[in-house]
Every structure is written in structure tokens, then in C-alpha cells.
Amino acid sequence: MNETTGSRPRIGLFVTCLVDLFRPTVGFAAVKLIEDSGCTVEVPMAQTCCGQPAYNSGDRADARAIAEATIEAFESFDYVVAPSGSCAGMLKKHYPGLFKGDAAWEARATAFSARVFELVSFLVDVRGVRSVDVKRKARITYHDSCSGLRELGIREQPRMLLSSVKGLKLVEMKDPDVCCGFGGTFCVKYSDISNAIVEKKTASIDAAGAETLLAGDLGCLMNMAGKLKREGSTVEARHVAEVLAGMDETPPIGGWK
Amino acid sequence: MDITSPTFKANARVALADGQLQKALGNVRAGFIDKRRKAVDALPEFEELRDRARDIKNHALEHLDLYLETYEAKVLSSGGTVHWAETAGQARDIILDICRKADARTVTKGKSMITEEIGLNDFLEKNGIRPVETDLGEYIIQLRGEHPSHIIAPAVHLNKEQVEADFRRVHDHLPDHRDLSEPEALLGEARRVLRSQYFEADVGITGANFLVAETGTSIIVTNEGNGDLTQVLPRVHVVVASIEKIVPTLEDVSQILRVLARSATGQEMSVYTTLSTGPRRKGDVDGPDEYHVVLLDNGRSSMLGTEFQDMLRCIRCGACMNHCPVYHAVGGHAYGWVYPGPMGAVLTPSLIGVDKGGHLPNASTFCGRCESVCPMRIPLPKMMRHWREREFERGLNPATQRFGLGLWAFFARRPRLYRLAAALGIPVLSLLGGRKRRFAWLPFAGGWTRHRELPAPESRTFMQQWRDREAVARQAGR
Amino acid sequence: MSARDTILGKVRSSLHAGANDQTRRKAVEERLKKAAPGVVPARGKLPSAQRVALFSEMAGKLSASVEHVRKAADVPKAVTEYLRGRNLPSAVRMGADPRLAAMPWGKQRALELRPGPSDGDDEAGVSHATAAIAETGTLVMTSGAENPTTINFLPEHHIVVVDAADIEGDLETVLARIRKAYGKGRMPRTVNLISGPSRSGDIEQKIILGAHGPRALHIIVVGG
């Protein structure tokens, strides 16, 4: 690792494909939060997607090819940070397994994975951030995305930082740890089942009585926001980084109303 | 039973539209999850016990041949008989033969998923033997001509009104004015009807939660007491068990028992844990004269040594399905064969073939809740992914899916081309998003927009904007 | 080739194991010989005096009723009173357990003792437990000439007598005791671990007591 005491760690931002295409604000919010924690941020151009669509469809060859490219693009950084529990989980927990039987690559992947973190847990667990200096007067509710929660153990970190936002009140929904039904390609391959799952989720969100829904994964957020809008709900959905960085002036995911 | 797993999607649609079923499924969410949580929280050693339980089964599986031999020798020395069955058909024939030799007309049955797996009831009936299910849930679904929709709560898909209607239809001695509106009354009625059946039966058939190699003991874990009456009253007791039920010692069983009931129903122990070793002994005043064990392979031996070996640790507690959002949405019957939920999604393709059961490992969001509650720490999502890999290798996925994935992968593997395509497409899509910033419909996105709006891209891609920002910064720096 | 040999052969080939692999055989023999206990919860390792209290508390949580009597001679009266308190006929099914047989039943003049296994028409049955487990409030019954298994399941009310001295902390200790009594690798025909009265949750997940086994479980702890 290149990090030395006193110098600013170099962070490679893994933007994630959904943030790149649909919600650049989350990327900029991530950059701001990471810089504020005393790091420098770079964004390697040779990144596309973490490879989950291939990996979870049983296509190991493409998943591995993408993993190789990602590792090559990022392995020189002190840390690799992604504003998504799902993508960070892929990089951190699943990449080494893709190279089973190829000792050299497996070692490289393992070394890489050790330096990968999801954004909010990076701020809290690695950088020791305990609060942010922003204001937002709103009642919010927080959905724990599955990979972040169960693969990376992210639960208290976002709540801790959110509790430091002035004017913000967190109201927990029922079963915040239950899947929203997104599941990547699952939501289109089994759209009826996905719909039944997200309907339960939006009912819990509505019942919580919050104005804003936050989560750490854009896939889940697009799913929940899309359903909330279809149901005519006024709850607005945002990535947690937008609020923590104070970059919440843009229209919420899926528009205002 | 008929396999309907290939039509999983259609089954799911029917299930989602079934109001009765949806109401009943609410009981799964409400009934099991909190109780498990409380039981787990009350035992500080629970996580450590999960590790132990996993290690015990791993050891037993790695030495399965030897433990099976030890177990068999012990059963024989306690006066029992062991029958080996490679296939479901062989197991059925062996059981029929035992019943015929006992001159059996009526057979009582304790709850057993393995006899569902081998389709025993239909087979016995076709051969003139009347099987009577004695577990309350199993009894109810037998009256309805259905199969269990859950491995420990077979009738969880039903509401009490449906059960009352079935009892009135079949128990023709029931006067109309008899109140059967509450579960208590329904249970009382079933208890009364089944009491005589235990005494009438010539053969009692149970499954086994565990087979102990050290002592040749079979163990059943139940709450109602029906399994015990099934095995103690008839002249012949038949235990049907698959080979992976083996556990080395009584101490090992003690460890796994501590995680079983807590994970299943949130009990610390089930009401009845019964250890049976051989037939009635000299001087005994009750108990069966004959004790038979049918050891069934039916595909297990070919799971050993593969990426699916871990699945053989499963102790059938049902926690995975109790916590599964997909199971909560569609119930057990939609899965189309004996084993539903996450454990079924892994086991079913192993037992009936991935060509028939292929939908099941795909119908998962990989939310990981199943693995997080599995007492045996079975990596269920990982194994579902392994099935997807097998399907992909064999080209079993639909052509449109493969094409879409191939196209996506083509770009994802070429960052420059990917950036270029995104830089061209995304601003256009963003513009089309209009003032609403979302789409109610979009070509090729029907799977998404059928049920939800598609949020529009904010603006240009992050990569485009970042390059601009870097360029500005460089200029300023210069 | 028999099904047995085919299955064992398939298991071995899947595990890449030879039939005469001495290392594997040794591992199995060792494990069976040692039968080492694993993780026993702290709750299962209490000293004797606290065990009785924990057992009573846990059994109570399972909807069993528990009463304590000072000595074995007090049991027949306790049984009579239990029956009277619940308006039950003054009759019990009872096996030939010598500990029960030694009690002064004759003093309970109205009480009818029916010997032998239950025929399914008994309102109440009396058994003597071999042991009990404090950790989970579980009774341990072993079958034999003197203890019919049917009494554990057929009567509506099951009254079980247990000596306080037989209340162990955990299941492992009880099983080790049975192993010692019957010899290594041998077991009674049936060991019933009973934790509360029979119940079912099969209709709408609502727990109802008295499914196919006893509706009520009454435990009489002697001494302690």
C-alpha cells in the first residue's frame, strides 16, 4: 500500500454503471465526501461495470474478463470506493472466487478486494468520519440494501452519519432489511414477482410517514422510486450520499411528483 | 407427484392473483420470523453452535460411506432391518413389500418430506393400501388432494375457513350446527378422527431428522405427537430416510438439535424429540415388533464432491423459505415440486434435473437473507448461482436473454466503446425524460415499465462530466 | 451388485475415497470412540441447586405445570389432588416402574390404578422420568418393560414424576448417562425427550395445545 502517515490516501472511485448513466450527482457527492475525509480521488476511465449482470447470469467468462480489467485499472490505488453495496460487494467478496485455480490472478484479486469499500462504510470504518456538516430539514426513512447489509455489514454507518445532519429526522420503516425486489435482471425476468415484493416495500415506506427515502444502492432506489411514482406517492427517493454531501438540490430519482 | 417447475412463471402469476393464498402467506411473515429472532437472541452461543453444526455435517459427509456402514451394523445388532434404495422406485417397492408381508391395509404416516419425494402415498393407494397422514397439516392437504407448500408447515397456504369446508365435505358424520370456525375446534375434530386410525394401522411410516451412526438410532423431531403414535402403535415401523441424514454421535446430534427448532419455529426444543433404536425388546409392553430403515440415495451420492455438496447439510428447518421474499410472494406450490423456497431452488435441479428445475435458482434476488438465517450455514445464493452457470454452459437460457447479455458484455468489456455509446445515448434519453424525469413506457424496457416508472438519466454521464471537470482543472492549473 | 454396494460405491467415488483408506477409517473410529461434547450453553452448566429452578422455569414457559414435593411418598396425594383440581375421573394409567410402585398409592382410596400400556381411553397417565434437562425444561423418558411409551402420548393428561437429583444441566450429560447405563453404542428402544404438552401450529400458524398427544403435562419434582 502506498499510504504513508501524513499524506492523503489515493482513492480510485468505482463510479458504478448506474450512477454513471443515470445519476452522476451521486458520483460527485461521493467525490466530495471522500475528499472531505482527507483523501484524493481519481476516476480511472477504463471502468464500465462490476460484472454482476454476467456473474449472476452464470456467465463466468465475461464476468472474469470484466474483473480482470477492473483490477488492472484500480490496483494501484490505496483504496477503491464505490457508492453501492452491491457493486462493492461484487468487487470485494466475489472477485477472488472468479479466479479459482489461477493462483497468480487469485492472489492479485485477493489483494485488490482487500482494498475495496462501499462509500459510507469507507467514510466511517476506514476514515473515522463521525459526522457531516450539512443541513436538511426532512423526515427520512432508510432502506438497507441487501448486499451492503448482508455481505458488507453496513447498517449503523449510514444511520450514524445521517443522525449528524441538522434538521434531519430518521423514521424507521417496518422491515428495512427486507429486499425491495430489484435483484438486477431478476426484476425484468420475473417482473410479476419483483412487483409483488416492491409493493410490500412501498407500502412500508408510505406507512413510515417520511418525505424522503434514502438508500445506498441506485438499483434498489430506481426500483423503489419507480414503484412509488407509479403509485402516485409523493415520497422522493435519493441516494444517501446526496444528502450527506449536501448535494440534494437536484430533482429526486424519477422526478419531483 | 407431477412436476410443474418448468411453468414456474405461470404458477407464480396464478399464486399472485390468489387472494386466499396471499392472505395465508401473511402468516408466514408474521409467524416465523419474530419467533426465530427471539429464540436466537436468547441463546448467546447460537452462532458458535451454527459453526459446530456445519462442521459436524461436513465431517459426516466427507466420511459418509463409513458412517453408513457403522449405522447399518448398529441397526442390525439392535434387531432392525436396513434396506438400501438407489432410486425413488426402489424405495417404493421396498416399502410396498414390507406392507404386503405385514398384510397391511392401513398405513399411518408421520410427517415426512422424503415420502413426498418418492411419491409414496399415490403408489400405496394404487396398490390397495390406504395411507393416512396424521400430522394435522398433512392430514388437511391429504383431504384436499394437494401436496405440502412448506417443508415444516405443509398447510401454511390455507386459511381456517378452507380447512372447515374440507372437514365438512369429508367428515360426513359432522352435524351442521357443530361450530368449527376456530383452529381449536378443527384440531379437536382431526384429533378425534385420527385416534382410531393409529390403532387400525398395521404399519407406521415416519421419516427421520437424524440417523446416529454410533448407536443405529433414528430420530424424529415433532410437536404434535402424531409421529410417536405412528411408530409405537402399529406392528411394523418403517423409517424412510435419505443417506445424508447421518450424524456420527449422540453428542453431535445434541449440537444440531440446538439450532434446529430455534431456526424452524423459534422453539428451544420441539415438543417431542424421539430416539428410536430397533424393535420392541424382550419384556416391552408396547412398541413395534419390526423396525425397518429404508436408506434412500435418489441423487444424493452424485451431489457429493461437487459444488452442491454443502446442500446435503440441510436439516429441513424451513428458515430459508420463512425469510425469502420470493417465497412470501408466491408460496410453495409455485415451485412446482416437493421442495420450495431457497433450499428447493438448489435441491430441486439436483434431483429432477436443471432442464426441469432451471427457473428456481433464477427466481431469486440474491438478497442473501436465506443464507443469513440458515442454521447449517449453507451458501444458498452461491449454489443458485452455480446452477445458473451450469445452465449457461449448456445454453439453457432463452435466446433473447443470451443475446441481451452478450450485447451488454461486448460493451462492458470495451471501456472506450462503452463510454462512447453511453455518451451518445444517455443525453438523448435524459432529454426524452422531459419535465417529469421519468418514463411510463420505453421500447425494450417493458419488463421494467409494466409495473413501475423508469427514472430518466439526470443529464450527461458522470464520465463525460468528470472529464470536463478534469480538463477545466488542468487548464486552471496551467 | 446390490443397491447397498452401488450406493456405497457411488459415495466413495464421489468423495474420491478408497474403501480401505486408513486415514478416513481412523478419523471415524476416533470420533465414535471419543464422542466429544461440543458447545454447551452456559445455561446448561448450572450447579445442581440452580438446575432445579431453571428446569421448573423452562418447563413452565413450555406450558407444562410444575409442582414440587418433598419426598416420593408425597406423590400419590399430589396426583389425586391434580385430578381433583381439574375435575378428572380418579383413575390413572401407570406402568410398573419400581420407583412408582414403591409409593404409597394405597392411601389414596378413591384412586384407581390401571397397569400396562395405554389403550387410548385414559384421561390421565403417570410415568417416571429417567432424567430431565434444565437447559430446555425437557423430560427424558426411556422405554422398557416398566415404562410403556404409549403412556407418554395417549392420555389427555400426562403426569410425570422426576427426582430432583436426576435433573441435569444439558442434553449431553443425560445422553452420557444413558450410554453408561446401557453400554457404549447401545440405547433403550425409545428415548422420548418431552418439552411441554403436545401442540400444533398448522392452522394459520396459531399455536394450540393438545394436538395428538397430551393436552396437559404436569411435572412433579421430588426432593431437591
B366 lies in the same domain as B439: no
B428 lies in the same domain as B350: no
CB A115 within 8 A of CB A77: yes
Torsion sign, CA atoms C45, C48, C49, C53:
positive
Angle at B185 (CA atoms; ends B184, B190), nearest 5 degrees? 100
Between the alpha carbon of residue C1 and those of residues A231, B87, B294, B304, the distances in Å are 65, 15, 18, 21
pLDDT at position B444 is 83
A1: burial class by Cβ within 10 Å (0-12, 13-18, 19+)? Answer: exposed
Nearest residue to B330 via CA among A200, A231, A197, A186: A197
For cell 451492503, name the residue: A148
Cell triple for B405: 447479455
Q: Nearest residue on chain B to C118, judged by CA atoms? A: B286
pLDDT at position A2 is 44
Cβ distance C41 to B258 less than 8 Å, yes or no, reads: yes
| CA atoms of B81 and B238, how far apart (whole Å) | 9
Domain span holding position B421: 414-477
C205 touches chain B (CB under 8 A): yes
B37 lies in the same domain as B158: yes
B173 lies in the same domain as B322: no
pLDDT, tens digit, for every residue of B149-164? 999 999 999 999 999 9
String of DSSP letters for C55-86:
HHHHHHHTT-EEEEESSGGGHHHHHHHHHHHT
C190, C198, C199, C209: best to mutate for the B interface, most B CBs within 10 A: C190
Torsion sign, CA atoms B179, B180, B184, B187:
positive
For cell 458412517, name the residue: B67
* For residues B294-320, average pLDDT: 98
Last-in-domain residue among B363, B393, B423: B393
Asked whether the predicted pLDDT for residue B344 surpasses 70, the reply is yes
pLDDT at position A115 is 98
Query: What part of C 18-37 touches B (C-beta under 8 Å)?
Result: 19, 24-25, 27-28, 31-32, 35-37
| CA atoms of A59 and A53, how far apart (whole Å) | 8
Torsion sign, CA atoms A205, B330, B15, B439:
positive
Q: Is residue B460 part of a domain?
A: yes
pLDDT, tens digit, for every residue of C111-145? 999 999 999 999 999 999 999 999 999 999 999 98
Give me the phi and psi of B369, to 5 degrees please.
Answer: -70, -30
Asked whether the predicted pLDDT for residue B1 surpasses 90, the reply is no
CATH of the domain at B382: 1.10.1060.10
Cβ distance C154 to B229 less than 8 Å, yes or no, reads: yes
Angle at C159 (CA atoms; ends C224, B187), nearest 5 degrees? 135
Q: Nearest residue on chain A to B327, judged by CA atoms? A: A193
B323 lies in the same domain as B290: no
CB A244 within 8 A of CB A33: yes
B136, B275, B309: best to mutate for the C interface, most C CBs within 10 A: B275
Give me the phi and psi of B66, to 5 degrees please.
Answer: -70, -40
Q: Is residue B4 part of a domain?
A: no
Nearest residue to C36 via CA among C198, C147, C176, C159: C176
Total residue count of chain B as it appears in this document: 478
Give the Cβ contact number of residue B217 at 10 Å: 28
CATH of the domain at B159: 3.40.50.10420
CB C170 within 8 A of CB C138: no
Q: Based on the structure, what is the number of domains in chain B?
A: 3
| CA atoms of B297 and B84, how far apart (whole Å) | 8
Cβ distance B362 to A190 less than 8 Å, yes or no, reads: yes
Cell triple for B7: 411453468
Residue in B28, B159, B272 closest to C194 by CB: B272
pLDDT, tens digit, for every residue of A241-251? 999 999 999 99
pLDDT at position C19 is 65
- Strand, coil or helix: A216: coil
| CA atoms of B244 and B71, how far apart (whole Å) | 12
| CA atoms of A222 and A217, how far apart (whole Å) | 9
Q: Is residue B337 part of a domain?
A: yes
CB B151 within 8 A of CB B161: no
How high does pLDDT run on average in chain C? 96
Nearest residue to B356 via CA among B345, B366, B364: B345
Residue in A66, A151, A191 closest to B447 by CB: A191
Nearest residue to A154 via CA among A89, A242, A219: A89
pLDDT, tens digit, for every residue of C174-222? 999 999 999 999 999 999 999 999 999 999 999 999 999 999 999 999 9
pLDDT, tens digit, for every residue of B72-131? 999 999 999 999 999 999 999 999 999 999 999 999 999 999 999 999 999 999 999 999
| CA atoms of C196 and C61, how far apart (whole Å) | 8
Q: Complex ipTM above 0.85?
A: yes
Asked whether the predicted pLDDT for residue B173 surpasses 80, the reply is yes
B268, B280, B350: best to mutate for the C interface, most C CBs within 10 A: B268
pLDDT at position B31 is 83
- Does residue A211 come out as left (phi exceeding 0), alpha (psi in the -120 to 50 range) or beta? alpha
Give the per-residue SS3 of chain B. Answer: CCCCHHHHHHHHHHHHCCHHHHHHHHHHHHHCHHHHHHHHHCCCCHHHHHHHHHHHHHHHHHCHHHHHHHHHHHHHHCCCEEEEECCHHHHHHHHHHHHHHCCCCEEEECCCHHHHHCCHHHHHHHCCCEEEECCHHHHHHHHHCCCCCCCCCCCCCCCHHHHHHHHHHHCCCCCCCCCCCCHHHHHHHHHHHHHHHHHHCCEEEECCCEEECCCCEEEEEECCCHHHHHHHCCCEEEEEEEHHHEECCHHHHHHHHHHHHHHHCCCCCCCEEEEECCCCCCCCCCCCCEEEEEEECCCHHHHCCCCCHHHHHCCCCCHHHHCCHHHHHHCCHHHCCCCCHHHHHHHHHHHHCHHHHCHHHHCCCCCCHHHHHCCCCCCHHHHHHHHHHHHHHCCCCCHHHHHHHHHHHHHHCCHHHHHHHHHHHHHHHHHHCCCCCEECCCCCCHHHHCCCCEECCCCCCHHHHHHHHHHHHHHHHC
Element (H, E) at C14: helix C3-14
- Strand, coil or helix: C195: coil
| CA atoms of B316 and B221, how far apart (whole Å) | 11
CB B351 within 8 A of CB B308: no
CB B217 within 8 A of CB B67: no
Residues in CB range of B227: below 8 A, 6 or more apart: B110, B111, B134, B135, B206, B220, B272, B274
Query: What part of B 356-375 touches A (C-beta under 8 Å)?
Result: 362-369, 371-372
pTM, two decimal places: 0.96
Asked whether the predicted pLDDT for residue B403 surpasses 50, the reply is yes
pLDDT, tens digit, for every residue of C79-102? 999 999 999 999 999 999 999 999
pLDDT, tens digit, for every residue of A149-188? 999 999 999 999 999 999 999 999 999 999 999 999 999 9
pLDDT at position B476 is 87
pLDDT at position A3 is 45
Cβ distance B271 to C188 less than 8 Å, yes or no, reads: no
Q: Is residue B267 part of a domain?
A: yes
pLDDT at position B446 is 87
pLDDT at position A6 is 63
pLDDT at position B478 is 65
Residue in B67, B215, B224 closest to C200 by CB: B224
Residue type present at position B162: Q
B426 lies in the same domain as B457: yes
B217 lies in the same domain as B361: no
CB C167 within 8 A of CB C131: yes
Side-chain-facing half-sphere of A2: CA atoms under 13 Å:
13
Structural domains in chain A plus CATH codes: 10-125 (3.40.50), 130-244 (3.40.50.11810)
Between the alpha carbon of residue B158 and those of residues B194, B330, B339, the distances in Å are 20, 13, 18
Just give the CATH number of C48-222.
3.40.50.10420
Nearest residue to C131 via CA among C119, C123, C139, C121: C139
Nearest residue to B67 via CA among C29, C9, C35, C183: C29
B42 touches chain C (CB under 8 A): no
- Helix, strand, coil % over all residues of chain C, rounded to 5: 35, 25, 40
B200 lies in the same domain as B147: yes
For cell 443475446, name the residue: B403
Q: Is residue B63 part of a domain?
A: yes
How high does pLDDT run on average in chain B? 96
| CA atoms of B23 and C204, how far apart (whole Å) | 10
Q: Is residue B27 part of a domain?
A: no
Cβ distance C31 to B248 less than 8 Å, yes or no, reads: yes
Q: Is residue B401 part of a domain?
A: no
Residue type present at position B376: M
Residues of A in contact with B413 (CB under 8 A): 48, 62, 65-66, 69
Find the largest Cα–Cα distance for chain B: 102
B197 lies in the same domain as B59: yes
- Strand, coil or helix: A139: strand
The ranges of chain A with pLDDT < 70 are 1-6
Q: Is residue B325 part of a domain?
A: yes
Query: What part of C 50-69 touches B (C-beta under 8 Å)?
Result: 58, 62
Nearest residue to A139 via CA among A222, A255, A251, A235: A235
B257 touches chain C (CB under 8 A): yes
Between the alpha carbon of residue C23 and those of residues A195, B71, B283, C28, C167, the distances in Å are 54, 19, 42, 9, 40
Count of H-run helices and E-run strands, chain A = 15, 8
For cell 410444575, name the residue: C66
Cell triple for B289: 415388533
| CA atoms of B94 and A126, how far apart (whole Å) | 62
* For residues B216-237, average pLDDT: 97
Between the alpha carbon of residue B76 and those of residues A234, B92, B170, the distances in Å are 71, 21, 42
